[in-house]
Chain A
Amino acid sequence: MVAGPRGALEMVRGLRILSRAVVKLRPLLVHGPTRGFSASAPEPLHVCVVGSGPAGFYTAEKMLKGHEGAQVDIIDRLPTPFGLVRSGVAPDHPETKIVVNQFSRVAAKDRCSFFGNVTLGRDISLSELRKTYHAVVLAYGAESDRSLDIPGEDLKGIHSAREFVWWYNGHPDMCDLSPDFRNTESAVVLGQGNVALDVARILLRCKTELATTDISDYALDALRGSTIRKVYLVGRRGPVQAACTAKELREILGLKNVRVCIKEADLVTSPADEEEMRNSRIQRRVYELLSKAARTHKDNNYEDQKELHFVFFRRPTKFIASENDSKVGAVQLEKTALKGDEVTGKQFAVGTGEFEELKCGLVLKSIGYKSLPVQGLPFDKTRGVVPNLRGRVLSCESETARVETGLYVVGWLKRGPTGIVATNLHCAEETVASILEDDKKGVLRLPSDSEKHGRPGLLEILKQKNVRFVPFSGWEKIDSKEKMAGLPRNKPREKITTWDGLLEAADL
């Protein structure tokens, strides 16, 4: 990418490797933990961050800045770091991914190490981690889905947006999804949040534009053969309550060769809608964009245009199989009306008993991600998050909850699956502040914690269990191979999309 500064970068890298080597040797030189290595070196605070998405990396960064003795190890179940920045953020949003530069600088710090290909709950247990580190910060995101719990949900041709996004972004767990775009002209996306807009955009966007992104090659091939011309974005509530942001909306409304269809009747607002808009800048601006799009697209109607339909005030009640097989052929929708919630002032959708069917051969459910529990971790099953107080994990939801000493949570696992990359920055600041406060109080490094050696302890456990981890340098090998492979196709990278391929590229 950059030709000029390469020399300087190489030099920096050389220095980094050297200083890392020294750090790696340190535990061998000094018996036991690093304390006593030099008179001025602060006592180490061993921190393990589980998950290398934005929440994990921001936590590592703030931890290293906030505590001179912090030694931070980041583990991730994948051989590749950066979580949803790699496997969630859309391929046509390269600017959003620039943040990995900052994360890579954190990983290069000598008080920070990355251990890819290590799964919490399989390769290492939470109790093992808690015995090895003074503080364990869980940042493993949300890798499951909410379900609608309506009949027909397991028909073929119905996928969660998470699966679909992982598939086009080359997540090694989903490279075999092969969604069928060939036998239908309509796709229904359930939900109207940013993720819903992402998947709709990928379906509709001109393929020559996608060809120069880091979309996985099999996804690009499949999309090139797609017969889908119409995408329906279905929301339970109205245009004032659409859960997307103006940025994503503006982008999809401006797609080349796509006619946007919005029913004018849906744009009529109630006093309660007006009130919501007065209180929310985002809602106001989203609504304005939708009304403007409804006006400008009204008279445009060209032959070979694709269509994007915003379907408001509808909730799915049933999936109906197509006539001769177990594939989805339609979604049954119930009309809804809005009712005000007296307590929150928010409006929610209630069914009206009026039904209609929407024919389609592909359904993508974008109704929310959900976190998964691991053994030994308090977990709020209804909300799908870990109960916590400013990032400190609580033993349960109730008022009598105790704080689980040394155990913290951050990111989507802490707040639920909402917010942008930057939201995790503030979330991490809060969790790190709690850790620093606890450390000041002296609860993290008690005399009985003298067995918590951090990194050497982790290495020992991994060795015993025969777990081969991918260090950050292993990821850098994957990274440069992917970039090389992207060059001839004019793509920023060609992602390696299988486990074997990734591990091999990392030289494991």
Chain B
Amino acid sequence: MLSRISRIGARLLREATAETRAGHLISSQGSNRHSSPVVTPVLSLRNVLFSTATSGGQDESSQEKISVTFVNKDGSEKTISVPVGMSMLEAAHENDIELEGACEGSLACSTCHVIVMDVNYYNKLEDPTDEENDMLDLAFGLTETSRLGCQVIAKPELDGLRLALPAATRNFAVDGYVPKPH
């Protein structure tokens, strides 16, 4: 509980500062950023802090991050680098990817639903807990490789992960997926 509060606290702070930067001081630029999908990796404040903090040379700091591609609802893509240990929800938010997170990662909303686009990656994830499955039951556009973004935590094996936001997936199948009987 305590850690959740502090997480939310940290989140508030981050958002508060982000808002002062983008929302109010340079508001016109802030809204432009949404309209044109950017494909280049965007380093967030936290990523920068993270890599300077480790300061152990290139190799080590690059080991700490993985590359993750989000496929937006309109099919456009954005590849970001995510520090190991960070959830996909947080990573998306730090990079202006439009992934909702109504309950801020407390497993109570299902709005952070993402679809793992390659079943091999899906299999590298730990199985969803009962509680995650309970929320997935209610996710919009559920597929066999659906997960909640707030529960998928970056780890080295997931480098290269591709995640689709639900609406974009209606037109394409998940790579290599073979339906298994239940």
On A, residues with C-beta under 8 Å from B are 1-5, 8-9, 11-12, 15-16, 19, 65, 68, 93, 95-96, 98-99, 101-102, 105, 245-247, 250, 281-282, 284-285, 420-423, 425-426
**Which B residues fall within an 8 A CB radius of A?**
5, 8-10, 12-13, 15-17, 19-20, 24, 31, 34, 100, 102-104, 106-111, 130-131, 133-135, 137-138, 140, 142, 182
Closest beta carbon of chain B to A190's beta carbon, Å: 24
Q: Assuming the A-B contacts A5-B13, A8-B13, are A420 and B20 also in contact, with contact meaning beta carbons closer than 8 angstroms in the complex?
A: no
Of chain B, the residue at the smallest CB distance from A247 is B134
Q: Interface residues of B: mostly helix, strand, loop or mixed? A: helix
| Interface-centre pick from A4, A8, A423 (highest chain B CB count, 10 A) | A8
**Given A4-B9, A425-B100, do A285 and B137 touch, yes or no (CB 8 Å)?**
yes
Query: In the bound complex, do residue B111 and residue A247 qualify as a contact, i.e. CB atoms below 8 Å apart?
Result: no
Contact partner of B111 among A12, A105, A422, CB < 8 A? A422
Most chain A C-beta atoms within 10 Å of own C-beta, residue among B19, B106, B140: B19
The verdict on A98 contacting B13 (CB below 8 Å), with A15-B24, A245-B134 known, is: no
Q: What A residues does B140 contact at CB under 8 A?
A: 422-423, 425-426
Q: Which residues of A contact B109 (CB under 8 A)?
A: 96, 99, 420-422
* B17, closest chain A residue (CB): A8
Contact A246:B137 (CB < 8 A) given known A19-B24, A422-B110: yes
Residues of chain B within 8 A of A65, CB atoms compared = 34
Residues from chain B with Cβ under 8 Å of A105 in the complex = 15, 19
**Contacting pair B134 A250 (CB below 8 A):** yes
> Complex Cα distance A453/B113, Å?
39
Residues from chain A with Cβ under 8 Å of B19 in the complex:
12, 105
Most A Cβ at <10 Å: residue of B5, B108, B133: B108
A94 vs chain B, min Cβ distance (A): 9
Q: Is the CB of B137 within 8 A of A245?
A: yes
**11 chain-A/chain-B pairs, Cβ below 8 angstroms:** A4-B13, A8-B16, A15-B24, A16-B24, A19-B24, A95-B106, A250-B130, A250-B131, A281-B142, A285-B133, A422-B111
Closest residue on chain B to residue A40 by CB atoms: B28
Q: Determine how close the nearest CB of chain A comes to the CB of B14; give it in whole angstroms.
A: 9
Given contacts A95-B103, A99-B103, contact A420 B9 (CB under 8 A): no
**Inter-subunit contact B130/A9 (CB<8 Å):** no
Chain A residues contacting B10 (CB-CB under 8 Å) are 5
Besides A99-B109, A420-B110, A422-B109, 14 other A-B contacts (C-beta < 8 A): A4-B9, A9-B16, A12-B16, A19-B24, A245-B134, A246-B133, A246-B137, A247-B137, A247-B138, A250-B130, A281-B137, A282-B137, A285-B133, A423-B140
A265 to B32: give the CA distance in the assembly, Å: 62
Residues of B within 8 A of A426 (CB): 140
Q: Contacts A12-B19, A281-B142 known; A99 to B130 CB distance under 8 Å?
A: no
Q: A95 touching B107 by the CB < 8 A rule? A: yes
Task: Give the shortest distance, in Å, between A485 (CB) and chain B (any CB).
Answer: 20
CB < 8 Å neighbour of A68 from B31, B100, B134: B31
Question: Complex: how many Å from CA A423 to CA B102?
Answer: 12
* B12: contacting residue among A9, A246, A420, A425, CB under 8 A: A9
The complex places the Cα of A237 from the Cα of B158 at a distance, in Å, of 45
Docked pose: A83 CA to B166 CA in angstroms: 27
CB distance from A246 to the nearest CB of B (A): 5
A11 to B19, CA, bound (A): 11
A383 → B minimal CB distance (Å): 23
Chain B residues with CB under 8 Å of A285's CB are: 133-134, 137
Which of A1, A2, A102, A246 sits near B102, CB closer than 8 Å?
Answer: A102
**How distant is the Cα of A9 from the Cα of B133 in the complex, in angstroms?**
35
Across-interface contacts of A246 in B (CB, < 8 A): 130, 133-134, 137
Which residue of B has the minimal Cβ distance to A68?
B31
Determine the chain B residues whose CB is within 8 A of the CB of A68 once the complex forms. Answer: 31
Q: Which residue of A lies closest to B31 (CB)?
A: A68
With known contacts A95-B103, A247-B131, A425-B100, A420–B138 Cβ distance under 8 A: yes
B8: chain A residues at CB < 8 Å are 2, 98
**Interface contact A98-B104, CB-CB below 8 Å:** yes
Q: Cα distance A274–B16 when bound, in Å?
A: 51
Q: Which residues of B contact A102 (CB under 8 A)?
A: 102
Residues in chain A near residue B107, CB distance under 8 A? 95
B12 touches A2 (CB 8 A): yes
CB distance from B16 to the nearest CB of A (A): 4
Q: How far is the CA of A159 from the CA of B133 in the complex (A)?
A: 34
Question: How far apart are the CA atoms of A421 and B112 in the complex, in Å?
Answer: 13
In angstroms, Cα B20 to Cα A19, docked, is 12
Residues of B within 8 A of A425 (CB): 100, 102, 111, 140
**B8, B31, B138: residue with the most chain A Cβ atoms closer than 10 Å:** B138
**A96 CB contacts on chain B under 8 angstroms:** 103, 108-109
B134 and chain A: residue at smallest CB distance: A247
Smallest beta-carbon distance A39→chain B, Å: 13
